[in-house]
Amino acid sequence: MTEETPAAADLVKFVGSLPGVDDCAAALSQEQWIVAIRSNGAVGAVEYRNLIWEHLGTDGTAPAIVLTDPSSVGELTAAVVEQAAPEQRSRYAAPRDEVEEFVCGIVAAATETSAVGADDDLFDLGADSLVLIEVSTAIFERYEVRLEMQEVFEAGSPAKISDLVKARTPR
């Protein structure tokens, strides 16, 4: 585990203590931490993001997480982190409207996750059929919009579920 600044060293030490982490590195880029993690897959990017964000203080910007291939060789370094393509980074997207905020809240409660972003993958959060039913039921109770469990499953994220709700809500 390579670190280049005292703050990065502290973050790398913390991340290295998390479950399943085999190697990690961190870099601060444009006031956002980017953390690369090589792990055994026991923990998903969203859970790592939330644990690291809590460690950093949730009043700041959520860190971007890059999960690297567990079979890749070579040590992770800050330079590797900074070179990770934006599409490889798991970023937190705040809810953009009231419906997304509601759906993110339901998903957070149902999956017992501290922070759910609008674009987070339901299955990275540990959603199962009971969570999908809970989400569908809460949406029906709040908006009187009926979503089938299959639709929620296929939507896959709070933002896409919110789009379904908004499309079926009378204006």
pLDDT tens track, the chain, 171 positions: 444 677 888 999 999 999 999 999 998 888 889 899 998 877 888 889 989 999 998 777 889 888 887 777 777 877 777 776 666 666 788 899 999 999 999 999 998 888 899 999 888 888 899 999 999 999 999 999 999 989 999 999 999 999 999 999 876
Question: Burial letters for 143-155: b for 16+ Cβ neighbours within 10 Å, e otherwise?
Answer: bebebeeeebeeb
Q: What's the CA angle centered on 54, arms 18 and 142, to 5 degrees?
A: 115
Is-contact 59 72, C-beta < 8 A?
A: no
